[in-house]
């Protein structure tokens, strides 16, 4: 993907990509680190429909939400020759019963046979998290298992 960089003298830098439908989506990063998400208008592509200020944490979380599906797709591709194994991603929310507790507390592998192969947090990928790693609201868990196992994992993580 071609990322365009435009310096904004005295203000900062703009980084954006042009989508398939012609819209520009990107970031304006000001000198002091203040980041804005920008989306261009359809009828006037020079202007912006919105420029939304994001904190560093918000930007990172949004980044991992956007990056999650690609990781899942990659994993699915890797074990596409293993029938019966699939990959799914689960978002840890405030309502998740295990939010703020170590991953081991979910006893997911014992109960469902599915395992958490990666954790995405604030744009960072934590591969093979250990049972001691604490899961937090906003984390994205990438889980590999059988379809039934994944359904059971969903039930555990969503507290039903």
Partner 1 sequence: MGATTATLIELGVIFLGLGILGRLAARFGMSPVPLYLLGGLAFGQGGFIQFHGVAEFGHIAGEIGVVLLLLMLGLEYTAAELVTGLKQSWQAGLMDLVLNFTPGALLAYMLGWGPVGAMVLGGVTYISSSGIAAKVLTDLGRLGNRETPVVLAVLVLEDLAMAGYLPVMTAVLGGIGLLGGATTVGISLLVVTAVLLAALRFGHRISAWIHSPEQETFLLKIIGAALLVAGLASAMQVSAAVGAFLLGIAISGATADSAARLLEPLRDLFAATFFVVFGLNTDPSTMPPVIGWAVLLAIVTAATKMATGAWAARRAGIGRWGRVRAGTVLIARGEFSIVVAGLAVASGVLPEALNALVAAYVMLMAVAGPIAARFAEPALRRLTRQPEYAG
The interface region with partner 1, picked from 20-28, 76-84, 92-100, 133-141 by CB under 8 A, is 20-28
144 with 117: CB under 8 angstroms? yes
The interface region with partner 1, picked from 48-56, 78-86, 142-150, 151-159 by CB under 8 A, is 48-56
Q: How many residues bind partner 1 (CB under 8 A)?
A: 28
C-alpha 130/C-alpha 56 separation (Å) is: 26
Q: Which helix (H) or strand (E) holds 94?
A: none
CB of 62 to partner 1, least distance (A): 16
CB of 12 to partner 1, least distance (A): 8
Closer to partner 1 at the Cβ: 48 or 60?
Answer: 48
Is 26 among the residues that bind partner 1 (CB under 8 A)? yes
CB of 124 to partner 1, least distance (A): 24
Question: By CB under 8 A, what part of segment 28-47 binds partner 1?
Answer: 28, 30-32, 36, 38, 40-47
C-alpha 95/C-alpha 99 separation (Å) is: 8
36 with 52: CB under 8 angstroms? yes
Q: How far is CA 10 from CA 3, 54, 149, in A?
A: 21, 20, 54
Give the max Cα distance, the chain: 57
């Amino acid at each position: 993907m071609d990322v365009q960089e435009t310096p904004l003298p005295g203000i900062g830098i703009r980084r954006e990509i042009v989508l398939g439908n012609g819209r520009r989506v990107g970031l304006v990063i000001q000198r002091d680190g203040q980041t804005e998400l920008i989306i261009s208008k359809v009828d006037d592509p020079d202007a912006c429909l919105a420029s939304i200020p994001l904190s560093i944490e918000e930007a990172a979380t949004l980044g991992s939400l956007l990056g999650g599906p690609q990781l899942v797709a990659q994993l699915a591709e890797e074990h596409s020759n293993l029938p019966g194994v699939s990959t799914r991603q689960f978002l840890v929310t405030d309502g998740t019963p295990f939010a703020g507790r170590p991953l081991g507390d979910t006893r997911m592998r014992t109960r469902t046979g599915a395992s958490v192969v990666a954790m995405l947090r604030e744009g960072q990928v934590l591969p093979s998290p250990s049972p001691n790693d604490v899961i937090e609201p906003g984390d994205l868990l990438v889980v590999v298992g059988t379809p039934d196992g994944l359904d059971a994992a969903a039930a555990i993580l969503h507290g039903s």
